[in-house]
């Protein structure tokens, strides 16, 4: 890039079209770390003495998040990070990432635990896909199986480790996609649980079984997290999965096309959705609270006799 940094005149590494500025390496790295810290502070994500599980896939988002959290809290008395990796069993996408996760946890001195779909559900994601294709001939929403299975395990593990928060690397693009998908599906219950910190006040009687999720990267575009990881030499690849398809992929393409024409539109979508979340919570509160029961198969809280995870995986 030939352009110079708007602040200092040094060579720029990125053009932030949504704010009309060029940013050099030094100021870019500082801005990413500052944004994450401001998001945590503004939304009161972390309290002194918190035990925090960090969902660590080994991809750009989670490795960058772990680095910033460790840099921020490693010297805070009583605050502890535990990195948790879930090996879904996607051979083409996971092997390298798990090794990277191990490497950085060793280097940064972070406790690291690895769990797998195979041990939890008796089969890998690759095996599940083959099973479903054989049974139905096609597979419309593989991301549903993977996402549901992973979220279930992360919450369960975070609770068993007696932690206070579950930090995930969801970036601006992830959050804007989720907001749009909830609009499309008309899913008030799920929309009510969105936000910088996952809200479980809808299920007061069951709150202790759900670990609050925090999203320090939700105001940072995906391409900026990717560039940050590259400049920091984390060795991560762009998020890729052989099973990515369905509505989420279409929404992703739509939002990226829209953002090219109207820079900053993803920020606008998220800001608008955040303003609506309190209303979604009011609408959903009574119904969601009354419906929660224990899943007959696994004993976890569920809105039906058999929870979604057991329905899909067991």
pLDDT at 288: 52
Burial 222-240, CB ≥16 within 10 A → b, else e: bebbbbbbeebebebeebe
| Domain contains 88 | yes
pLDDT at 247: 79
Mean of the pLDDT values across residues 271-283? 87
Name the average pLDDT for the chain: 90
| Domain contains 297 | no
CATH assignment at residue 95: 3.40.50.620
With contact defined as beta carbons under 8 Å apart, do 171 and 222 qualify? yes
| Higher-pLDDT residue of 238, 84 | 84
| CA–CA dist 271, 164 (Å, integer) | 26
| Domain contains 26 | no
Mean of the pLDDT values across residues 259-269? 97
| Domain contains 73 | yes
**Would you say residue 53 has pLDDT above 60?**
yes
| Domain contains 312 | no
What is the percent of the chain where pLDDT is above 70? 92
| Domain contains 87 | yes
Instruction: Label residue 93 by pLDDT band (50, 70, 90).
Output: confident
| Domain contains 309 | no
Count the domains in the chain. Answer: 1
Q: Looking at 149-153, 262-266, 290-294, which range is the least confident one?
A: 290-294
**Would you say residue 296 has pLDDT above 70?**
yes
Domain housing 199: 32-288
Mean of the pLDDT values across residues 220-226? 97
């Amino acid at each position: 890039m030939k352009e110079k940094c708007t602040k200092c005149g040094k060579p720029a590494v990125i053009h932030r079209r949504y704010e009309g500025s060029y940013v050099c390496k030094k100021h870019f790295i500082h801005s990413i770390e500052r944004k994450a810290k401001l998001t945590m502070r503004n939304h009161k994500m972390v309290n002194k003495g918190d035990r925090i599980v960090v969902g660590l896939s080994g991809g750009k988002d989670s490795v960058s998040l772990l680095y910033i959290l460790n840099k921020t809290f490693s010297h805070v008395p009583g605050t502890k990070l535990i990195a948790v990796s879930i090996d879904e069993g996607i051979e083409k996408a996971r092997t390298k990432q798990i090794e990277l996760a191990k490497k950085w946890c060793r280097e940064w001195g972070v406790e690291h635990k690895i769990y797998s779909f195979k041990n939890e559900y008796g089969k890998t994601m690759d095996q599940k896909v083959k099973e479903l294709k054989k049974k139905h001939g096609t597979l419309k929403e593989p991301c549903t199986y993977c996402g549901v299975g992973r979220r279930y395990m992360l919450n369960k593990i975070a609770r068993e480790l007696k932690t206070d928060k579950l930090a995930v690397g969801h970036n601006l693009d992830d959050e804007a996609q989720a907001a749009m998908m909830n609009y499309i599906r008309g899913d008030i219950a799920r929309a009510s649980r969105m936000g910088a910190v996952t809200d479980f006040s809808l299920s007061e009687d069951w709150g202790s079984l759900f670990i609050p999720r925090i999203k320090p990267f939700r105001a940072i575009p995906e391409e900026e997290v990717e560039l940050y990881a590259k400049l920091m030499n984390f060795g991560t690849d762009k998020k890729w999965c052989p099973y990515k398809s369905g509505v989420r992929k279409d929404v992703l393409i739509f939002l990226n096309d829209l953002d090219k024409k109207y820079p900053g539109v993803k920020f606008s979508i998220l800001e608008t959705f955040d303003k609506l979340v309190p209303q979604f919570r009011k609408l959903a509160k009574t119904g969601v609270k009354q419906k929660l029961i224990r899943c007959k198969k696994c004993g976890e809280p569920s809105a039906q006799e058999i929870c979604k995870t057991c329905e899909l995986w067991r």
